[in-house]
């Protein structure tokens, strides 16, 4: 029997969660972006809500990247960074998120003249405020903007190793995937140095290109999680590898729809990935830009793909286990998930 929408929505709202794939700039709320655009007028970012929402309608991924860069250009001093971190923590706390791994493109802040130490200080301040004011723990992932090539990799690595924020846990790679091949060796070298220093490898792959990008992040970058990964369904050998290794995938359905990676939500590969027994987590990517939330992604999975409360709880548990939290903190959130399942008469899902 299909569960009532109101019942599922209440369950999602109560469910403790971890968010593993969300970008600092992409998480900036509409009011925050409007405030920044009014402080720095004359650029391409609109200064009214109606125009900004229209600005967030994307033709394709390159257009999204252009809009993202325009919003990023509004962040011009360290105080802006701390405000953004605290803002995403506030928004996530309202959704019962206990922990977030927040992707920061540090290179873009350095490119506008911010010193590394100042960026790090702002990130540390934001993380402290997130816990103190909203009860949300923050882990940071420094990602290399792929289109910036060897220079982007070098500067990001230097920042990550020389003056890292206290909560830095991972090293990532994002941007337009088709451009990466020209800089493959530079990215491999940077990831080798980062992982040797103890950072986790969490690159994007298989979002806007084919399975070959996923094989590259697996074999060349030693990925411990993969951002998106939806192209895996085109390669049976890759799916078999992912199933056997339990390599987690950070799936962001609304993002894929809004950037044109899938034509309709009904054709999203998430149900196929679950049927194949892959290790899937749900994430929001750039929520205000895509008019979504993390709770909204869980609701979408229920509405569009027919997932019930037990399956949603399983996905929430997957995110906690796939995170880089310490084991006691993981156990505490998983126990909370079990408690919510018991209160809603939902069988405890275990690993999904």
CA distance 131 to 301: 29
- From 19, 101, 177, 207, the catalytic residue: 207
DSSP per residue, 67-79:
HHHHHHTT--SHH
Chain CA centroid to CA 322, Å? 13
CA distance 53 to 55: 5
DSSP class of residue 2 equals P
- Residue 91 structure tokens: 């928004």
Longest dimension (CA), the chain: 58
Q: Report the first-to-last Cα separation within the chain, whole angstroms.
A: 21
Q: Is 207 a catalytic residue?
A: yes
Residue 45 · residue 52 · CB < 8 Å: yes
Residue 277 · residue 286 · CB < 8 Å: no
Cite the beta strand spans of the chain per DSSP E: 17-23, 97-104, 137-145, 168-174, 200-201, 204-205, 226-228, 249-251, 280-282
Catalytic residues: 207
């Amino acid at each position: 029997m299909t569960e009532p929408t109101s019942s599922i929505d209440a369950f999602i709202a109560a469910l403790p969660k971890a968010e593993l794939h969300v970008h600092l700039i992409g998480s900036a709320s509409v009011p925050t972006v409007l405030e920044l655009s009014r402080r720095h007028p004359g650029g391409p970012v609109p200064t009214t809500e109606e125009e900004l929402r229209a600005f967030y309608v994307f033709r394709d991924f390159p257009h999204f990247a252009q809009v993202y860069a325009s919003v990023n250009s509004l962040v011009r001093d360290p105080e802006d960074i701390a405000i953004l971190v605290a803002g995403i923590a506030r928004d996530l706390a309202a959704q019962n998120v206990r922990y977030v791994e927040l992707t920061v493109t540090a290179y873009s802040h350095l490119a506008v003249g911010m010193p590394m130490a100042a960026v790090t200080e702002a990130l540390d301040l934001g993380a402290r405020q997130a816990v103190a004011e909203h009860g949300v723990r923050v882990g940071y992932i420094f990602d290399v903007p792929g289109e910036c090539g060897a220079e982007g990799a070098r500067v990001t690595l230097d920042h990550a190793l020389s003056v890292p924020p206290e909560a830095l846990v991972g090293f990532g790679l994002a941007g337009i995937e088709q451009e990466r091949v020209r800089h493959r060796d530079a990215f491999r070298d940077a990831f080798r140095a980062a992982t040797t220093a103890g950072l986790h490898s969490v690159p994007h792959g298989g979002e806007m290109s084919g399975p070959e990008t996923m094989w590259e992040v697996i074999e060349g970058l030693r990925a411990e999680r993969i951002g998106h990964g939806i192209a895996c369904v085109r390669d049976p050998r890759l799916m078999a590898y992912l199933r056997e290794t339990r390599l987690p995938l950070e799936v962001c359905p609304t993002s894929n729809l809004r950037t044109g990676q899938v034509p309709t939500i009904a054709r999203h590969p998430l149900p196929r990935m679950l049927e194949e027994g892959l290790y899937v987590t749900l994430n929001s990517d750039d929520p205000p830009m895509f008019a979504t939330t993390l709770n909204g992604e869980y609701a979408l999975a229920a509405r569009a793909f027919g997932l019930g409360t037990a399956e949603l709880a399983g996905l929430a548990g997957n995110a906690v286990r796939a995170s880089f939290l310490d084991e006691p903190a993981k156990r505490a959130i998983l126990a909370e998930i079990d408690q919510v399942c018991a209160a809603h008469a939902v069988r405890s899902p275990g690993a999904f």
